[in-house]
């Protein structure tokens, strides 16, 4: 497998500079083939300027044309899945089943947003027809719909080289909204990024779109991201990664002469609550499910269960004993790269110094060992170190003595992507104060399940209050992700011939619209 290594700008490989970097095999640490170019600010500027030129054309395409483009991109990616299995496995250590599943999710997202375009509900068309006879003042004709925001910068994630990267959810939703994308490849998997980038460019060409609809920038260094976020053509940012990285992008975007939104998903410890009756009845089964979730993908999911809150008692003692047994036999796993492994080991050592070890897996060179630590509520509540995320197969158990302490512990949490409750229906009904508090803290509340695994559908929320997400009212997964990249525009007393298609009297798109306060698909007489 050969790689060009340069950026994909204007539909072709090009680069202003000639300094390159290489990446190592995640499992063996051997250098992989392919030299990838470090971007210069001039490369970023060129991609952004092309995106700006493409925006007026691309955003005005018929919805069907954009839908066909997304489906074409999905088909192009489907055609390279075997190459992706090979390269992603080398660059990240992810196994074949995971790569094929994640690739299917990526193409599935693209096809799902094609369906969103065809049904048109994201446009949220609203029409209040004129009431010239109204007293004391007549009402004008006012019509509103959602319009594309502008070119979007998308930052690839380290832990999802497909679903949250070059053609992942941020890219799919931005392109669906009518926004050209400048994708910043993650430096941990540049070969994967090139393979997917080429597939996207082929889709652009096959659909006869302006080349600036999609660009791919390679390289390392914060200066690339800074140049991208600060370019005046960029109108929004999609990011999945660390709190530090996301916060830096938010600060850069806010310092622009024209501030722009950064939709950053930045991490979460995803508390799991084991209620007394469920724990007493199913301690060993819960332990098995927890360890499976904790070690899945070597713990490198943003929804990894990094905190367990459980009531003291015999049930919890059985849970701890079973977890310790299972973890002791859990093989150490390959992490995405040396930097991720190093960061995990440092955070795990912090836990080791601040909490009691409950169970730990065997060690292995260049591998991450699973672990569970424990602390009382009082010790955990005031210890900032124990509130930090350990990105990997490491979790902390906090023991409570009363039902009220479940709520007390929740009040100490920062914003989270998920929270999980294990309990029988009747038991859950008696924990309404806990449910109320959780609804203010997290984006998704699960019952009797495990947080690893995010369904891509209309009703999914993958977001939450800060610091889980920089914009609490957004989601990066599910069809509402498109709402991040549109803005409402109203037209008052505009002639029908000049109105955009979603607002015309004849309703040529046959979409559901809110007409004078009532949903309707009918034309307006």
Angle (deg, nearest 10), helices 96-119 and 169-177? 20
Strands 518-520 and 513-515: antiparallel
Distance CA 494, CA 500 (A): 10
Distance CA 212, CA 295 (A): 41
Cα–Cα–Cα angle for 137, 139, 145, nearest 5°?
A: 155
DSSP, res 515: E
Catalytic pick from 71, 76, 194, 265? 265
Catalytic pick from 302, 360, 394, 399? 302
Residue 354, exposed/middle/buried by CB under 10 A (0-12, 13-18, 19+)?
middle
Residue 47, exposed/middle/buried by CB under 10 A (0-12, 13-18, 19+)?
buried
Q: Which residues contact 495 (CB under 8 A, 6 or more apart)?
A: none
Distance CA 166, CA 148 (A): 20
Distance CA 300, CA 92 (A): 11
CB 264 within 8 A of CB 470: yes
302 is catalytic: yes
265 is catalytic: yes
Closest-CA residue to 67 (of 110, 123, 131): 110
DSSP, res 168: S
Half-sphere exposure of 450 (CA within 13 A, CB side): 19
Q: Residues with catalytic annotation? A: 265, 302
């Amino acid at each position: 497998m050969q790689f060009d290594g340069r950026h994909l700008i204007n539909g072709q490989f090009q680069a202003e500079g000639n300094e390159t970097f290489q990446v190592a095999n995640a499992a063996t640490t051997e250098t992989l083939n392919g030299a990838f170019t470090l971007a210069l600010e001039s490369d970023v500027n060129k991609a952004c300027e092309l995106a700006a030129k493409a925006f007026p054309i691309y955003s005005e395409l018929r919805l069907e044309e954009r839908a066909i483009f997304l489906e074409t991109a999905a088909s192009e990616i489907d055609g390279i899945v075997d190459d992706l299995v090979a390269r992603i496995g080398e660059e990240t250590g992810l196994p074949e089943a995971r790569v094929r599943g994640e690739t299917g999710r990526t193409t599935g997202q693209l096809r799902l947003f094609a369906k969103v375009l065809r049904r048109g509900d994201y446009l949220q068309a609203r029409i209040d027809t004129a009431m010239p006879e109204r007293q004391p003042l007549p009402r004008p004709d006012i019509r509103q719909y959602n319009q594309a925001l502008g070119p979007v910068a998308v930052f690839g994630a380290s832990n999802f080289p497909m679903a949250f990267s070059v053609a992942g959810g941020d890219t799919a939703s931005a392109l669906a909204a009518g926004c050209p994308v400048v994708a910043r490849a993650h430096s941990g998997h540049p070969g994967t990024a090139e393979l997917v980038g080429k597939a996207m460019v082929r889709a652009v060409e096959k659909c006869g779109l302006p080349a600036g609809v999609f660009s791919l920038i390679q390289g390392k260094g914060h200066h690339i991201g800074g140049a991208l976020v600060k370019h005046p053509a960029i109108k929004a940012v999609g990011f999945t990664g660390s709190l530090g990285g996301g916060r830096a992008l938010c600060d850069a975007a806010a310092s622009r002469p024209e501030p722009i939104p950064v939709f950053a998903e930045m991490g979460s410890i995803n508390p799991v609550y084991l209620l007394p009756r469920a724990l007493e009845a199913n301690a060993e089964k819960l332990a098995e499910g927890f360890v499976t979730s904790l070690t899945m993908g070597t713990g490198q999911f943003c929804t990894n269960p990094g905190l367990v809150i459980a009531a003291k008692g015999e049930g919890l003692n059985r849970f701890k004993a079973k977890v310790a047994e299972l973890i002791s036999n859990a093989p150490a796993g390959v992490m995405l790269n040396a930097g991720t492994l190093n960061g995990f080991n440092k955070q795990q050592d912090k836990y080791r110094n601040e909490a009691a070890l409950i169970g730990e897996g065997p060690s292995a060179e260049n591998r991450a060992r699973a672990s569970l630590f424990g602390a009382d509520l009082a010790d955990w509540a005031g210890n900032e170190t124990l509130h930090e995320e350990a990105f990997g197969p490491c979790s902390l158990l906090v023991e409570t003595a009363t039902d009220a302490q479940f709520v007390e512990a929740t009040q100490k949490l920062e914003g989270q992507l998920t929270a999980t409750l294990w309990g029988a229906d009747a038991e859950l009904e008696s924990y309404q104060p806990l449910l109320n508090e959780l609804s203010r803290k997290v984006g998704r509340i699960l019952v009797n399940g495990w947080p690893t695994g995010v369904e891509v559908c209309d009703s999914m929320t993958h977001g939450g209050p800060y610091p889980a997400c920089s914009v609490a009212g957004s989601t990066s997964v599910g069809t509402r992700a498109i709402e991040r990249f549109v803005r409402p525009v109203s037209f008052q007393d505009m002639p029908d011939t000049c109105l955009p298609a979603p607002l015309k009297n004849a309703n040529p798109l046959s979409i559901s619209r809110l007409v004078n306060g009532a949903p309707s698909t009918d034309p307006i007489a």
